[in-house]
Amino acid sequence: MAHIHATAIVHPDAAVAEDADIGPYCIVGADVTLGPGVKLHSHVVVDGRTEIGEKTEIYPFSSIGTPPQDLKYAGEPSSLIIGKRNRIREHVTMNPGTEGGGLITRVGDDGLFMVGVHIAHDCIVGNNVIMANNATLAGHIVVEDFAIIGGLSAVHQFVRIGRHAMVGGMSGVENDVIPYGSVMGDRARLSGLNIVGLKRRGFNKEDVHDLRRAYRMLFADEGTMGERVQDVAKLFDSNSGVMEIVEFMSTDSSRGITQPRSGHAD
């Protein structure tokens, strides 16, 4: 039987796993599903059509699944799905989707969402993502696996953040960030590749070397971006990491690609 503190309010229709742990003064709504091993520390609110995967832990004063902050939202039955083994720290907010974004917000597995993080409606967040204190995502954002978003950063709606990318603290991200890229600045610019992150995750020297060569070619001054992407695709067709960047840059997007400052392609 689930451990539910006497001061918690849990709707009788909520689906709560037998080994879930709901702490003091938490509120759990009727359409909520809490998976095995989920732990809510004190003063957590989980509402709406929200599913939380096993062993996810949510710390005090977080608000999860309350209606999206979108004036177009008209009460449509949208959902928030959170995966397994996430750590959701104090004062985090995550909202469900809207009709304009497919009616779903999704957060993957094994993420760390530090104090004050906000994930808005219709975002798709991958696995092993880290968002530092007070990092915020506007609506309709895609954050791919292993991305890191630094503290006090803000990401514009409809932006894509590629796998293994790094957003430096206090950055304003207005355009897409390529996989393995590193961006920073109040209007973020591409500052190179996330070399430290790649080494920590076991990328070998040859792959990192190819990624750096491809990066220099992609953001050189010669030719158009389309021509450079085609050249890189031909030259590095056997390197999966480089081809991931090529595919990312070839996909239609409403935001464009974050560029390095002129003369800083290295």
CATH number of 114's domain: 2.160.10.10
Write out the residue range of the structural domain in which residue 44 sits. Answer: 3-140
In a domain, 105, yes or no: yes
Residue 5 falls in the annotated catalytic set: no
Give the separation between CA 98 and CA 79, rounded to whole angstroms. Answer: 8
pLDDT beyond 80 at 266: no
* Residue 264: inside a domain: no
Please tell me whether residues 222 and 94 are part of one structural domain.
Answer: no
Same domain, 104 and 8: yes
| Domain match, 132 and 40 both | yes
Residues 6+ apart with CB under 8 A from 202: none
Beta-bridge mates of residue 167 = 149, 183
Residue 235 and residue 136 share a domain? no
Same domain? For 22 and 88 the reply is: yes
Tens-place pLDDT, residues 157-195: 999 999 999 999 999 999 999 999 999 999 999 999 999
Are the beta carbons of 229 and 250 closer than 8 angstroms? yes
Whether residue 223 is found in the same domain as residue 99: no
Phi, psi of 49 (to 5 degrees): -85, 80
Helix and strand totals (H; E) in the chain:
4, 28
| pLDDT for 14 | 98
pLDDT in tens, 119-145: 999 999 999 999 999 999 999 999 999
Cross-strand pairs, 39:
21, 57
Residue with tokens 């999966």: 240
Please give the Cα distance from 85 to 115 (Å, whole number).
17
pLDDT at 1: 79
Please say whether the dihedral angle defined by the alpha carbons of residues 265, 186, 131 and 253, taken in this order, is positive or negative: negative
Mean pLDDT of 98-103: 96
Residue 99 DSSP class: G
Q: From the CA atom positions of the chain, what is the Rg in Å?
A: 20
Q: What per-residue confidence (pLDDT) applies to 261? A: 86
Asked if the structure places residue 154 within a domain, the reply is no
The catalytic position among 31, 109, 122, 176 is: 122
Q: Is 146 within the bounds of a domain? A: no
Question: Among 140, 155, 173, where does a domain finish?
Answer: 140
Cα dihedral: 59, 17, 94, 193 (round 10) = 80
Judged against a pLDDT cut of 70, whether residue 3 lies above it is answered with yes
Model confidence pLDDT, tens digit, residues 7-55: 999 999 999 999 999 999 999 999 999 999 999 999 999 999 999 999 9
CATH number of the domain residue 210 falls in: 1.20.1180
Confirm whether 78 is domain-assigned.
yes
Using CA atoms, how far residue 75 sits from 30, 50, 65, 258, in Å, is 16, 15, 13, 35
Q: Which of 139, 151, 181, 192 is catalytic?
A: 139
Do residues 18 and 130 share a domain? yes
According to DSSP H, which parts of the chain are helical? 195-200, 205-218, 225-235, 240-250
User: Are residues 22 and 125 located together in one domain of the fold?
Assistant: yes
Say which of 41, 43, 118, 121 is annotated catalytic.
121
Average pLDDT, the chain: 96
Residues 127 and 245 grouped into a single domain: no
Residue 266 lies in a domain: no
* 122 given a catalytic annotation: yes
Q: Are residues 62 and 136 in the same domain?
A: yes
Is 148 a member of any domain? no
* Residue 139 is a catalytic residue: yes
Judge residue 213's burial from the number of C-beta atoms within 10 Å of its C-beta, 0-12 exposed, 13-18 middle, 19 or more buried. Answer: middle
pLDDT of residue 155: 98
Q: 237 pLDDT exceeds 90? A: yes
Number of domains, the chain: 2
**Parallel, antiparallel or unpaired: strands 189-193 and 181-184:** antiparallel
Domain membership flag for residue 191: no
